[in-house]
Amino acid sequence: MNNISNNQMMNHVFVDAVEANSDLIVLTSDSRGSAKLTEFGDKFPNHLIEVGIAEQNIVGIAAGLAHSGKRPFAVSPAPFLSMRSIEQIKVDVAYSKTNVKLVGVSGGVSYAQLGMSHHSLQDFAVTRAIPNIQVLCPADRYETEAMFKQLLVTETPAYIRLGRNAVEDVYESSEYGFEIGKANLLRDGTDVLLIGIGETVRIAIDAALSLAVKGISAAVLNISSLKPFDSDTVIEKAKKIGKVITIEEHSIYGGLGSAVAECLSIEIGIKHKIIGFPDEELVTGSAKELFNYYGLNPSSIADEAVKLLG
């Protein structure tokens, strides 16, 4: 099991990049510990700004720094950054096309025991509905590394969601040809197409392995870029296979499942099952307990695939 979280990999990328990019500024909202940015702050105190628990301010300050020629990354817990600051994200960043990278850490149900106020299960829905902003979510530490290296040189506003804990690797290294806006086929198959985002990509792979034991051939597609969205690849694979399951650590409304349904809506005869968190207040428990309770685990996904196949 990998012991390096996506947050820690982000820290490593920043540490390696800051000497060559003096304009890099990282902002935190009393969150450098949970974002694993303590090393970066200790080594480069002049490149880290702590604004305190003030998520709306962190976005405004980051936008001001961007207009001053800096390259700001605003790092804050996803449930607060994506909801409390959404007006500032819409106006100060997206509407103005300001080059701010908004990093929502501890996304999804990372703060599961703290309840609905600390869940970010609507962040994909609200951010992808705003023009001029990319919406990204890496599957593992290697994709995080590749993604942040690109974000350091791009000029487009972006919202990036990261989880809290380390996840099992999906890739063997960061040198696999990551590209913002492109889906990545991890495993080909003929019977069912499993599409994941973020931490659910590993779940999709494990479900595919479980299905293979039963003689069912499952393809696995990683959507790390929810916006821009690779509709061409999704449609191409879905049309060939005919049966699709999307898996996401998000509400069943407005996220990956909705994006896939939108692009498949003009296609006839494709069955599509959305697996995510239901439109209700969730039970209390750890993140793993919530994943299992709501069917976001390999065995439950495999069962749903069998049902979809009839």
- Catalytically active residues are 55
Q: Are 282 and 109 within 8 A, CB to CB?
A: yes
Instruction: Establish whether the linkage from the previous residue to 228 is cis, with ω within 30° of 0.
Output: yes
Q: Are 223 and 263 within 8 A, CB to CB?
A: no
Closest of 14, 33, 287 to residue 152, by C-alpha: 14
Q: What is the DSSP string of the chain?
A: -----HHHHHHHHHHHHHTT-TTEEEEESS-TTTTT-HHHHHH-GGGEEE--S-HHHHHHHHHHHHHTT-EEEEEEEHHHHTTTTHHHIIIIIIITT---EEEEES-BTTTGGG-GGG-BSSHHHHHHTSTT-EEE--SSHHHHHHHHHHHTT--S-EEEE--SS----SSSSS-S---TT--EEEE--SSEEEEE-TTHHHHHHHHHHHHHHTT--EEEEE--EEES--HHHHHHHHHHH-EEEEEEEEESSSSHHHHHHHHHTTSSS-EEEEEEE-SSPPPPS-HHHHHHHTT-SHHHHHHHHHHHH-
Distance CA 118, CA 55 (A): 14
* Beta pairing partners, 101: 73, 158
